[in-house]
Structure 1
Amino acid sequence: MQIIQTPAERFADIPDYPFAENWFELDLGEGHKGRMHYVDEGPKDAPPVLLFHGEPSWSFLYRKMIPILVDAGFRVLVPDLIGFGKSDKPDDISFFTYQRHVDWLKQWRAAVEPRPAALFCQDWGGLLGLRMVANDPDLFACVVASNTFLPAGGTPSPAFLAWREFAKTSPDFQIGPLLDRASQTPLSEAEIAAYNAPFPDEPSKAAARAFPALVPVEDGMPGVEENKVAWPSLAAFEKPFLTLFGDEDPITKGSEKFLIERIAGAKGLDHRTLSPCGHFCQEDQPEALAQGVIDMARKAGHLA
């Protein structure tokens, strides 16, 4: 297996992304090391907020939210998951597992910002982040979840099955156009190119190909039992837990009900379904999402 480092020149003309590079070396397992890239904006001693992206995006997705959150007084930390963005990319699809992604994020978080933090998570950022909340609830001051869930088996929807098959078998797996189609706000050519930038060739797309097949939506899949174990702790999370889902997202629309009904900290909050808002809500409703994080952090006493 090779660990690919995307050439720096691929990121030379990224629009509206002026953020300095930060790097952390991870133990990837099986004797491999890899670099995780992350954005780190705002004063180092400010209250931290973690922004977790999903499939098949990277920290560029948060470019509209980061300045709002910095201005509100946060230290804003946005990692690129291994296999995505500027982070290193193992080229073996079978190397990626749900548990490894959780472990890699926990390694990074423990080293970079171990204080309690606010969390915003979307898509796979929620599958990873909500597991982390369940495992270490004291490390999270509040949560805002959008277009995500913590699956533990069951029956997948036809829309998800179609997406899983496409990611696995499509000979033309172009990332930028996927982001464009799944957002209500049309992306510019430069923005589409920015989402394509991390993936110059097929081997670099291993993580993006792998992720949909790792979602534990069917009984017996890896991750099902771990998420079943995680759910009681997540349900007992009493700090503010807000959902802001997209009305035009065919994959996750409606699944916020499971979070609202089961998680203690979700009771009595102003949960909203945003419109126009597709799957990549950060493109469509960045101000509303950032304000939700600010409101929950203030409610929790995490932000002045």
Structure 2
Amino acid sequence: MLVLRTPDAAFAGLTDYPFAPHHAELTDRATGTALRLHYIDEGPRDGPIVLLMHGEPSWSYLYRKFAGPLVAAGCRVIAPDLIGFGKSDKPADRADYTFERHVEWMSDWLTGLNLSGITLFCQDWGGLIGLRLVAAFPDRFARLVIGNTGLPIGTGWSEGFRAWLEFSQKVETFPVGFIVNGGTTRDLTPAEVAAYDAPFPDESFKEGARQFPTLVPVTPEHASVAQNKAAWEVLERFDKPVVTCFSDKDAVTHGGEKVFIERIPSAAGQPHTIVKGGGHFLQEDAPEELVGIILDHMKRA
């Protein structure tokens, strides 16, 4: 496995990202290849843990406006960069990226840090992978906040996702900052767009970003359908409080909160929210509201 690492200089001068880098060394189970995973780790070591998981094609920069207020409330805030994204290592071959490999990598990272009592906030692929972590290690999680994501089991996809899949595979140059900006209802500043482009000095670094849309198990023939069905069996017994906060202007996941509310018993009676005016990357459109939802959920529980 050939692994690329974005030079630190690419991240010089980032807007509103003052966080000290933390790294974990992982070993790919299939090949024995060493991989370095980057994560934010802010706040008191003994504070309640809030785990913020990003999706495609973003990175922990997406949570830059979450960390300060959550730390001020006494939380320990942890936000990893998935392998292939952000400051984490990036395998250079698209075939090296699979759903199950990502679950393995993040499982090894989670257990390596021995995290527990976790409040999870997840969106996009942060949900697909994050909810698999919940299913694998339910005792490590204290509560869930789920937004603009899903855990598909091969039963179809939205027209919004169909359009995204087609675009992602046909566009000649994969325009990461442009994509994130297109998934928000506000216009990102040029500096913010540049920050989303920063992890990818050239197209060779974007193989994970290219591959992720093809990995979503939206048909019965997709890999990971069986594993996601097994995860749902665990989630349907999950007894820790679950709240959803999907946005009203995301063509990809619109209405996706219903399956979580209907299938996870501990979602019953919770104050689920539809974030008004939020796009797919609702963290960029409504960070203050989402931080409030997280903290309120922690207080109630």
Q: TM-score scaled by structure 2?
A: 0.97
Judge conservation of contact 1:118–1:142 (CA < 8 Å) in 2: yes
Q: Which amino acid aligns with 1:140?
A: F
Could you tell me how far 1:209 is from its partner in structure 2?
Answer: 0.3
Could you tell me how far 1:296 is from its partner in structure 2?
Answer: 1.7
For 1:276, the equivalent position in structure 2 comes to: 277
Question: Does the residue aligned with 1:167 lie in a helix, a strand or coil?
Answer: helix
Q: Which runs of 5 or more residues in structure 2 are unaligned?
A: none
| Map 1:137-286 → 2, pairs under 5 A | 137-286=138-287
Distance 2:284 2:23 in 1: 25
Question: Does the residue aligned with 1:14 lie in a helix, a strand or coil?
Answer: coil
Question: Does the residue aligned with 1:236 lie in a helix, a strand or coil?
Answer: coil
| Map 1:10-21 → 2, pairs under 5 A | 10-21=10-21
% identity of equivalent residues: 50
Could you tell me how far 1:165 is from its partner in structure 2?
Answer: 2.0
| Map 1:3-152 → 2, pairs under 5 A | 3-29=3-29, 30-152=31-153
Could you tell me how far 1:291 is from its partner in structure 2?
Answer: 1.4
Q: Which amino acid aligns with 1:204?
A: F
1:17-71 Cα offsets, whole Å, 9 max, x none, are: 0000000011123121110000000011111111000000000000011111111
Question: Does the residue aligned with 1:294 lie in a helix, a strand or coil?
Answer: helix
Distance 2:240 2:128 in 1: 19
Q: Which amino acid aligns with 1:3?
A: V
Distance 2:112 2:45 in 1: 13
Question: Does the residue aligned with 1:128 lie in a helix, a strand or coil?
Answer: helix
Q: Which amino acid aligns with 1:20?
A: A
Could you tell me how far 1:298 is from its partner in structure 2?
Answer: 2.0
Question: Does the residue aligned with 1:76 lie in a helix, a strand or coil?
Answer: strand
Distance 1:134 1:218 in 2: 21
Question: Does the residue aligned with 1:19 lie in a helix, a strand or coil?
Answer: coil
Judge conservation of contact 1:244–1:271 (CA < 8 Å) in 2: yes
Distance 2:171 2:220 in 1: 25
Judge conservation of contact 1:244–1:273 (CA < 8 Å) in 2: yes
Q: Which amino acid aligns with 2:223?
A: P
Distance 2:59 2:35 in 1: 17
Judge conservation of contact 1:240–1:299 (CA < 8 Å) in 2: no
Distance 2:275 2:75 in 1: 24
Judge conservation of contact 2:158–2:253 (CA < 8 Å) in 1: no
Could you tell me how far 1:114 is from its partner in structure 2?
Answer: 2.4
Judge conservation of contact 2:115–2:140 (CA < 8 Å) in 1: yes
Say how many residue pairs are matched.
300
Q: Which amino acid aligns with 1:2?
A: L
Distance 1:220 1:6 in 2: 34
Judge conservation of contact 2:54–2:122 (CA < 8 Å) in 1: yes
Could you tell me how far 1:299 is from its partner in structure 2?
Answer: 2.3
Q: Which amino acid aligns with 2:278?
A: C
Q: Which runs of 5 or more residues in structure 1 are unaligned?
A: none
Q: Which amino acid aligns with 1:120?
A: F
Judge conservation of contact 1:82–1:88 (CA < 8 Å) in 2: yes
Judge conservation of contact 2:116–2:139 (CA < 8 Å) in 1: no
Question: Does the residue aligned with 1:253 lie in a helix, a strand or coil?
Answer: coil
Question: Does the residue aligned with 1:23 lie in a helix, a strand or coil?
Answer: strand
> How large is the Cα RMSD of the aligned pairs?
1.0
Distance 2:296 2:237 in 1: 21
Question: Does the residue aligned with 1:63 lie in a helix, a strand or coil?
Answer: helix
